[in-house]
Each structure stands twice: as structure tokens, then as C-alpha cells.
Chain A
Amino acid sequence: MTDTNSLQEAPAASGGRQPVGIRLEGVTKRFRGGVVAADAIDLEVRPGEFMALVGPSGCGKSTVLRLIAGLEEATDGRIYIGDREVTYRLPQERDVAMVFQSYALYPRMSVRRNLGFGLRMRRTRRDERDRRVHEVADILGLEHLLDRRPSALSGGQRQRVAMGRAIVREPQAFLMDEPLSNLDAKLRVSMRSQLSLLHQRLGTTTVYVTHDQVEAMTLGQRVAVLRDGVLQQCDTPQRLFHEPVNLFVAAFIGSPSMNFVKATVEGGTVRFADVRVPLPKGSPLASADRRVILGVRPTGFSAGTGNGRPEITLRPEIVEELGDERYVIFDIDAPRVDTDATRAAVDAETADDALLVPDERARITVRLPGDVPVSIGEPLTLSIAPDKLYFFDPETGSAL
């Protein structure tokens, strides 16, 4: 895959097959012992779409993928691939290909036989099989490795063989279960763009499971966010970021994650700490008088003052330098938001650092350009963009 030219010139491996969609209707998976890994999930993957399933570990995203593959049987609901209902079909009858996190290459077979195995199982003619194996090996830059065993390959090469094994079958859908998570960071980023390119080239419907929201956002044409087996929101990356339906999605999507404070809405303004911000025009909360959870992205603050926007003065506690930008972290005099949803969404490390915050105060992260002078402990005045505020119900967590 290092050679992108071959990728562009290679004939479409899907052989001009019309892509089909995948539809889940009320799919539930209850394991023995009562764990519900998928709870009445309705999901439609459009023909040829790249759908990313994302969520924290244990949210059921892999189970959903395995349900589509037929490796788990649904307790309830229906699964369609194209127009065909496959709910109770065996995996081998579903015509999907899966890429596993561990790659799961057949250890005693050469790369050539690994690639050709699926075709052989489907009784494809030998000359046709050879042709397709070579074609895919050419796309993925594996020609010179065809006679090696998987044990003689590097991690990235194994990953490509696992990919190739799926592509060569020209299935109706690719199912990928964290295929990049065993690669080192650099290779992962390059494989990510290669994957995008590959999907453009082949146009095969793809369901991609990852716990990494960056990977999901960059790869997925649409992203489905899951939590505790429940589908939270399925939308384009843009809409997920800008219009999260609830606190969990808001906290999960975006890096660094959204800041939350407890706030009060009254008389057309929202108040937290000693700051009052007028609500944006046409806000449904304009006439409300209630408590809310206020969310602000780290990009919702800007350094310029005097532009008529509400301002906040703070003392930076931590400054993280990233070169052309920096993250400024500070406490404000408002209670910290600590709900199940926010805790589930953030990594363990960030949850831990909340413990270091005194007096249960909210901690805010702000992203500023690198040329704004910032020093720890010195007062800094920032302006807040009213149209970049998010409001959530403190009880239900849904967006207001």
C-alpha cells in the first residue's frame, strides 16, 4: 500500500458489483448471564457507505459487527444485507468479509493461500482465483510476499494480508473490527488514509468498529455512537460534532473533549461562575428559567477581547504547548459536572485528573493559537462565542 499509484490504476476489485446496504431492525443481543450487549438497535448502512461504529470499550460495538457477520445470533430483531434477511443465516452464507483485530491469518498457509482461502471455499475456478489473488496483491503491494508464511511478515504486512483476504472475495460488505489498533501510531495514520482511498476505489459497503473517535471521524462517512448497547446517534462527523444529541455524544466526540459546567438559564442569559452569556438568537431556551449543563468546546473561546462578546477572566493553571497552538487549562468557580455519561465518555486518565481539582470545581480546557501570550497564574481574558454553546438537561442528559 506504500505505492498509491498502483492503487489508483488498479481495476476496481469489486468487479462492478452494485453495492448493497445493511439494515438492522430492533436488533438485541442478550448474552447468557443477562448482559445486554446490543439493545434494540436500528441502524441503516447505505449502499457503498463507510459506517464507523464507535464507543468506549464494552459498549457493544464489536457485538453489533459480529451480529452482522453472523458470528453471534441475535436474541431479537432482524438483520438485512441488501434485500435479503440474514438474521438466522450462518456466517458462510452471508457473503461478508471480516478483518479481525488480531488479523487471524491462517498460520500454516502462505500469503497466497491465505488470500485465496475464501475463494477456494466458494469453489472459485483456479485460474480466476489466481487472477484475483494477484490483482489484490498488486493493489496492496504484497506480490513479493506471496510465498511467505504469516510468521515471516511484519505487523503492517500482516495487516495488509488480512485486508487483502477480505478484498479478494469481493464480498457484499467489509466488516472491520479495530483493524488498525495493533499498528504503531505512524503506520496507523498512513493505513487510515490508505483505507479511505481503498474505500473510494472499491465502493464496497463497510462497517468499521473502533474505540478511537478520531479514527471514526476521519474514516466514517457516517458515524454511529454506541453506549451500553444503545445507539446514541448516527450521523455525519460534522453533525455529530456540532449537533450532539446528548451529553455522552458531546463528551465522547472531539479531542480534547467538550468542557461542561453546571449553569442556570434565566431571562435569556446563561449564567455560570461569574459570567453571563446571552443566549443565541432563536434559542428554544430563551424564555426558560431552569438549571442546565452547559457545554463549550475548547475552540469555543477566543483570545480577542472588546469585540462585544461576553468575556471571562481566568488564571491558567496548566499550559500544554503543541507548537502552533496550545491548550490552556484552568479551574472556574462553578461546580464540576460528573455524570455517568461524561465519565463513560472520557478516558480513565482524564477522569483521574479530575480528582486533583480542588473543591469539586469545573476544569476547562481552551485551545488558543500559539501566538497568544499565556503564562501560568497570570490573568487572561477570553471571549466566549454564544453560538458555540451547548445546553443539556441535567437529569436526562439530552441536548436542549
Chain B
Amino acid sequence: MSTVGTPAPPAPAPAAGVAAPDQRRQRRPRGRRSQVLTFARYLALFALACFFLMPVYALLLTALKDPGQVSVVRMWELPDRFSLASFRAVWPELKDGFVNSTTMAVPASIISSLLGAANGFVLSKWRFPGADFVFPLILFGMFIPYQAVLIPMFYSLSRAGLTHDLRGLILAHIIYGLPITTLIFRSYFAGISDELIEAAKVDGAGMLRTFFFVALPIAPPAFAVALIWQFTSAWNDFLFGVLLAQRTEDWPITVALNNIAGGQTVPFNEAMASALLACVPTVVVYILLGRFFMRGLMAGALKG
């Protein structure tokens, strides 16, 4: 599950870093030397965390400042008062992008995860001759750079008439997501006891019913990982969006964001506010699905 570490908000790190040494000192008295060492270590970690959080700080602060107070000179200063004016200013331009991105990313991640679950299931628990050959082939898809397939993909999708709405973009994200979702589910199912699947076989379930009745109910942790990953990459994608959404009214939010932030004379409080808005959904998805990471869904199946 280390793959999902990326979207995790790193904010809690410094707080924990400060609190931990105090608690530990109370629990277990230590030598003065090691106390100093521990303190130095946490201090260094805290400083690094602050350094890495600086852009986030600037983003939040500038977006929430009163537009009148925004200037390069006073970039790091806390404002006298907060204001949502920047958000109000950019929202009308971002609204369509928001809707488009949601319409695109939600089905793209759900369908891709479901297909990945099916792939992962047959590649690990209902193996067919040649499975060991097919799996590396699917994985290979992860290592093909977007640029390499861009022109043929655009050509085929536009010939199929799919570039005049979001369908082509959704299709591209589903297919491009398959290698990673397949990998996630294959690894997850590989950790499930074979006897569980065999019990279902002997009980009379075929491949599809074993998948739906036995494998899927224990897969929510894998779904959480796959959905977060897929949603984030579909939502954040720019290249496919700008290429495959031909009409301006189909542009996803990343393209819309680019049009605001990329302009020459855009006040950067508005650029920051747009950027902040654009990254809210991925954080929300992470928070909503993150609780399914918990393990223990297999509890009770085996001897225990």
C-alpha cells in the first residue's frame, strides 16, 4: 500500500515530531546525551518538513488573502484578514472544468478498478494457461510513455468519433489505468488463501460467481487503493485532457486551470485559489476512501 503514500497530506508530520520526544522522555528516562541527540534529530526533521511545506503555505495564504493585500514583497506575511474573494472570482471559470473532470474521473476510476479487479482475480486465483505471460504484458503498459501513443491514440479515437465529448477521454483513462489496477488487485488477491477460492469451487460456484460472491466482498482495501490512485491520476491529467476533449466545453479542470494560471496578467491570488480548488477533490477522495485501507476484512476466514 506504499503506492498511496503520495497523496497523503504531510501536515501531521511536524506536530507528531514535536510531541513524540516529550512523551518518550516521560516514559523512559534516558541519558542526557541521547536526549540531546533525539532533540537534534527531531529538530532537523521539523525544519525539513517546514521547508517542504513552504509552497503549500504560500498557496494557502495567498489564496485566502484579500486581493488588495497580495504582493510579491509581502508574500510570507500573514494577512490582516482572510477573504474568499479570490475563490469567488475564479469559480465561474472553473465550474465547467469541475463538472467535466468529475464526469470523467469518477467513471474512469470505477470502471478501471472493476476491470483491474477482474484481471487481478484471474491472474492470481483463477489462473489460465499463459497467465505468467499475459501479466508482464499488461504491466508493460505502465512503462509506455504517454507521448509515444499520443498521435495514434488521438487518431483512432477521433476516427471512432469519441473526441467530441468526454467518452474518448474516459476510455483512454480506463485503459491507461488497467496496468496499475491489475497490479494492485493481483497482489491483493495473491495474499488471499487459495483454500477460500477452492471452497467456493467445491461449493459449486463457477469463475464469475466466485469472483462476485467471494473475491469482491473481501477486496475493499484494494478498491480503496485503486480508486484513489485512478481518481488522482485521471483528475490531475492534463495531456490527455487537452488532446482528447476537443470542444472547449468539455475541457477538464486541469486545462481550465492552465488557462487561468498560465495567462500573462493573472493576479496570482486567483491562480493560487484555482489551484487550491482543483486539488480539493483528490484530497476528499483520499479522506473518504482512506478508511477502507484498514485490514481485517479476512478475519475469521481461516483457523485464526
Contacts and interface: CB of A to CB of B under 8 A. Distances in A.
Interface residues of A, number: 35
B202 A91 contact: yes
A376 interface: no
Interface in B45-79: none
B303 A158 contact: yes
A151 B300 contact: yes
B16 interface: no
A10 interface: no
B205 A105 contact: no
B196 interface: yes
A155 B304 contact: yes
Interface string B177-216: 0000000000000000101101111111110010001100
B1 interface: no
A118 B195 contact: no
A153 B205 contact: no
Interface string B268-304: 0000000000000000000000000000111111111
B218 interface: yes
Given A100-B195, A121-B205, A106 B299 contact: no
A141 B193 CA distance: 27
B217 interface: yes
Contacts, number: 101
Given A92-B202, A117-B203, A104 B193 contact: yes
Contacts of B205: 92, 117, 121
Given A100-B195, A102-B195, A104-B196, A69 B299 contact: no
Contacts of B209: 121
Contacts of A91: 198, 201-202
Contact of B303 (A103, A117, A121): A103
Nearest to B216: A108
Interface in A155-191: 155, 158, 165, 169, 175, 182
Contacts of B303: 101-103, 155, 158, 182
Nearest to A182: B303
A149 B209 CA distance: 20
Q: Which of A105, A108, A122 has the most CB of B within 10 A?
A: A108
Contacts of B202: 69-71, 91-92, 94, 96-98, 175
B299 A151 contact: yes
Given A90-B201, A103-B301, 9 more contacts: A69-B202, A91-B202, A100-B195, A102-B301, A104-B302, A106-B217, A107-B300, A150-B300, A151-B296
12 contacts: A70-B201, A70-B202, A71-B201, A90-B206, A91-B201, A101-B195, A104-B193, A104-B302, A106-B213, A106-B301, A107-B298, A117-B200
Interface of B: 193, 195-196, 198-206, 209, 213-214, 217-218, 296-304
